[in-house]
Structure 1
C-alpha cells in the first residue's frame, strides 16, 4: 500500500460512533471522578455506596453479584467506606455467618453531595448543547443502550 492509501484511516476510526461515544464517555467519567474526589471517593466507592443505599441492608456477596465487581475489590472498597464512617457491616439477621452492609447517615449525606457534584459535572460535559439538544441526546443514547 502506498502512503496515500493509508491516509484517512485514523480519520475514519475517529468518525465512528463507537469511537466518539467512547471519547465522550471518557471525558464524562473524568469530570465525575474529579468532582466526587472532593468527597474522598473514587467511582468504585461511589458505586458500592449507592448500591448499599439502594439494596441495603445487603450481603457482601449480593453486592459482588449486583455490581459485577471482584469480591476482593468489594471487601477493600467496603473497608474504606467503613473506615470513613459511610457504611457499616453487621451480622446479617437472616444468616449470622454473613455480613449485611448498610449506609450510615454520614454515607447518605455523602451520596447526596456526590449526586449534586455528578450533576454539575454532567452539566459541564453537555454545556455545548441547548436544553432541547441535551434532552434529544439522552433520548437517543437511551434508545441505543436499550436496543
Structure 2
C-alpha cells in the first residue's frame, strides 16, 4: 500500500476493493487446500441450504454461466460431492443433489473459509469485526 498514492488510500471505495482482493486471495487459498474453487463451494452451499435444484436453476441463482455450471457440476459429481439425475417431470432437466460426501467436504470447506475470515479480520477486535460486518451489510 505504500506505493499507492495517498489520495487513493483514503477513498473508502479503494479501501473496500483492496480488502476484497485480500479476502478473495485468502478464500481462494483456503479452498485450494481442499482442492476446490469458489464455484464448487457456492454450488454445495446452495444445495445444502436450498435442497435439490435443477442444474439450470442452480446456475441462475448463483449467476454461473450455463457451460460453467455444467463443468462445475461434472467436477463435483466426479468427486462424489453431488448427484445429477433426470427430472421425472421434465426429462430435459437434471436435478442436482448434494451427497453425504459433499456435505462432509462442505464442512471442511467451511472450516477453511472460517480460517480465511479470521486471517482477514485478524487486525480487528471482536467488537470491531461485528461492527464491520454490520456496516458492510448496510452498504450491501
State whether TM-score is above 0.5: yes
Per-residue deviation, residues 39-71 of structure 1 (Å, max 9, x unmatched): 110111111121222223110110121011110
2:29 matches 1:34? yes
* CA deviation after TM superposition for structure 1 residue 15, in Å: 1.6
- Which residue is equivalent to 1:4? none
- Structure 2 residues not aligned, in runs of 5+: none
Deviates more, 1:50-59 or 1:116-125: 50-59
Cα distance in 1 for partners of 2:105, 2:75 equals 14
TM-score normalized with structure 1 length: 0.88
RMSD: 1.4
Unpaired stretches in structure 1, ≥5 consecutive residues: 1-8
2:65 matched residue in structure 1: 70
Instruction: Show the counterpart of 2:80.
Output: 85
- CA distance in 2 between counterparts of 1:116 and 1:41 reads 14
Contact 1:60 1:99 in 2 (8 A): yes
Max radius of gyration: which structure?
Answer: 1
For the 8 Å contact 1:56–1:100, the answer to whether it is kept is no
Following superposition of structure 1 onto structure 2, how do residues 35-114 of structure 1 map, counting pairs within 5 Å?
35-114=30-109
**TM-score, reference length from structure 2:** 0.92
**Aligned match of 1:121:** 116
Q: Stretches of 4+ moved more than 3 A in 1?
A: none
Partner Cα separation in structure 2 for residue 57 and residue 108 of structure 1: 13
Q: Distance in 2 between matches of 1:135 and 1:18?
A: 20
